[in-house]
Structure 1
Amino acid sequence: MSDFVTEPRQVIRKFLARQQHEGAGAIVRRSIGRSELKYFDPFLLLDEFSVSAPAGFPDHPHRGFETVTYMLHGAMMHEDFEGHKGIIEAGDIQWMTAGRGIVHSEKPAYPHGTHKGLQLWINLSSKYKMTEPDYQEVSSNEIAEVTNEGIKVKIIAGESMGMRSHIHTRTPSMYLDFTLKPGSHHKQPIPTNWNAFVYILEGEGIFGMSRSSPSTAHHLLVLDRDGDGLEVWNRSSRVLRFILVGGEPLEEPVVQYGPFVMNNQEEIDQTIEDFEKCVNGFENARFWNSDT
């Protein structure tokens, strides 16, 4: 993919991700997955989370989609009921395919401090919803990174500035972490007809049109589907950091029941029955059920 952009996309919606409580004492800023933007095909949820022990996300199931956890500060411990266990440190990525079913927990890896990160839920097409669970775990020093003329980008998925991520995306996706120094300007291509959004982590920037008003931290910006990329300026005196995420729309029916995302109500009913009976991907959920 070339970094050549001729028709920048415009921002068609912008709103602030306000704080809410989730899990056991965790605080999140939810943007996708709330009333303002319930679903943005193929994206189901985006949370900017902040957790201090003993808070966390106790044992919970998933089916039918992928979760992408990107640590910004601190570290989180992940453990599932198939015996997979690991720690995601600052800058690390865990790309988890829940597929046909998994039960796991997420909690601070260390007892002190505040642990912060992003979690994105990406829907799976009907042909992948019942695939076997899988993990792609990439440490910070393994993530492709490019710095050029005041622009730094970490390429979690997709391609930017001549570098490509090795993450496999079952739903074709891009996930880029940009840092722009004051005075910087950048254009980033986005595949035609993909949905895309920006989430600002710190600072302020101008997106889409040079005469637009600046957007600040914790705002989600929905881009239109006309055009071939994003154009952004940092005209402030502070560093601007944001993620740009895009994906190919699945254009399939979506029926969601909490942590289960399928294509119709019958599949949701079957998922609930599978979970309650501890079968078809939830064999080890009996331990979860015995504790609740």
Structure 2
Amino acid sequence: MKSRNIVQIIAAVAVSDGAGVKIKRSLGLNPQLRFDPFLMLDCFGSEQADDYIKGFPAHPHRGFETVTYMLDGHMLHEDHLGNQGHLKSGGVQWMTAGRGIIHSEMPQQEQGMMRGFQLWLNLPATEKMKPAAYVDISPEQIPQYHPAEGIEVKVIAGNFRFGKDNVSGPINGLSTEPQFYDIRLKTGTELTVALPAAHHAMLYPFDGELAVKKDDSLQQLKTHHAGLLSEGDSVTLRANTDVSLILLAGKPIGEPIAQYGPFVMNTPAEIEQAIRDYQQGQLTAAGPAGQIKLNTPA
């Protein structure tokens, strides 16, 4: 196996989005900080209601997918398709904006911790105008795997391979073949994760600190720092402290990106069309709703 190592570290920066929700953004701070097919990664987390209470009122998207993973708290998703989903601790919402969706994500609590991630996952040109779709994934639908003592892996998307075991998450079969793992390691434990060799991959510790083995040395990765990985078919993680992290991997699309706020297309002309469609009420023109099929392992 060819082991991956960290080739770039992006410190998450405090910003606000929606109606003033305080977040930490790593990927997506500027157009140079993308990692095909990943466009943006936000981590939100606070016990102060003022940091999240106004939420994300109704807003549009076109041309990509959003993945929201709730670690703690309760938010309500509503969209123009009539979907309504209660996103609670440990749950995920996977939304394909496609040709256009208007949705909101609003807190359903007035106090206590609200914490989680939102990932923007690009779509290839052939899929940017496909029908919008949405699915809720409950915590019970996300496999939890324990490859060794002191190690836990939640498989949200893709297939986690360890030895002869192959654990499939509820999301599979997408064109970018995303892998999305929530990994928890106790101090001093070590885990080698197999990854598709052609995928881009990254790490983001949100509690504790992590090291990545590179030959006989260790590369350190601090809390709330995104570590972009080199090519290879595996990465070896070592826990400096008790650490919780997400590992993301996806098949690069390799197409030009044109972005204006919540619209991500391939050309400036397509962005201008998206803006016109939204202004004229055509972004979500009538058409069949899409469908995201969940993998249901036997």
Question: Which TM-score applies when normalising by structure 1?
Answer: 0.90
Equivalent residue number for residue 61 of structure 1: 60
Amino acid across the alignment from 1:229: S
Alpha-carbon contact 2:93-2:136 (below 8 Å) kept: yes
User: How far apart, CA to CA, are the structure 1 residues paired with 2:217 and 2:54?
Assistant: 43
Q: RMSD between aligned alpha carbons?
A: 1.7
2:6–2:219 contact (8 Å) kept in structure 1: no
Corresponding position of 1:288: none
CA distance in 2, matches of 1:66, 1:102: 10
Matched residue, 1:92: 91
- Give the deviation of 1:106 after TM superposition: 0.9
Q: For the residues of structure 2 that align with 1:11 and 1:165, how far apart are their CA atoms?
A: 25
CA distances 1:39-63 after superposition (whole Å, capped 9, x unpaired): 2111110000136353211111000
- Residue identity matched to 1:61: P
In the aligned structure 1, how far is the partner of 2:283 from the partner of 2:99? 7
* Corresponding position: 1:43 with 2:38: yes
Spell out, residue by residue over 1:5-29, the C-alpha distance to the aligned partner (whole angstroms, 9 max, x if none). Answer: x221010111320211211121110
Kept in 2, the 8 Å contact 1:64–1:124? The answer is: yes
1:30 aligns with 2:21: no
Q: Which residue of 1 aligns with 2:181?
A: 176
Tell me which of 184, 198, 203 is aligned to 2:203: 198
Quote the Cα distance in structure 1 between the aligned partners of 2:117 and 2:207.
13
Counterpart in the other structure of 1:253: 256
* Equivalent pair of 2:207/2:223 in contact (CA under 8 Å): yes
User: Residues 144-159 of structure 1: matches in 2 within 5 Å?
Assistant: 144-149=143-148, 150-159=150-159
Paired residues of 1:103 and 1:282 also in contact (CA < 8 A): no
Report whether the alignment pairs 1:12 with 2:7.
yes
Mapped partners of 1:33, 1:101: distance in 2: 21
Q: Name which of structure 1's ranges 34-43 and 174-183 shifts more when overlaid on structure 2.
A: 34-43
Check the 8 A contact 1:11/1:223 in 2, yes or no: yes
User: Are the aligned partners of 2:212 and 2:218 in contact in 1 as well (CA < 8 Å)?
Assistant: yes
Give secondary structure in 1 for the equivalent of 2:129: coil
Aligned to 2:266: 263
- Any idea what SS the aligned residue of 1:269 has? helix
The percent of aligned pairs where both chains have the same amino acid is 39
Greater Cα shift, 36-45 or 6-15: 36-45
Give the Cα separation in 1 of the matches to 2:110 and 2:77: 15
Q: Is the 8 A contact 1:72 1:90 kept in 2?
A: yes
Unaligned runs of 5+ in 1: 1-5, 284-292
Aligned to 2:171: 167
Q: Which residue of 2 aligns with 1:121?
A: 120
Q: 1:81 to 1:121 in 2, by over 3 A?
A: same
Q: Say if 1:28 and 1:50, in contact at 8 Å, map to a contact too.
A: yes
Q: 1:24 and 1:57 mapped to 2: Cα distance?
A: 6
**1:196 and 1:76, CA in 2 relative to 1: closer, same or farther beyond 3 A?**
same
1:273 aligns with 2:272: no
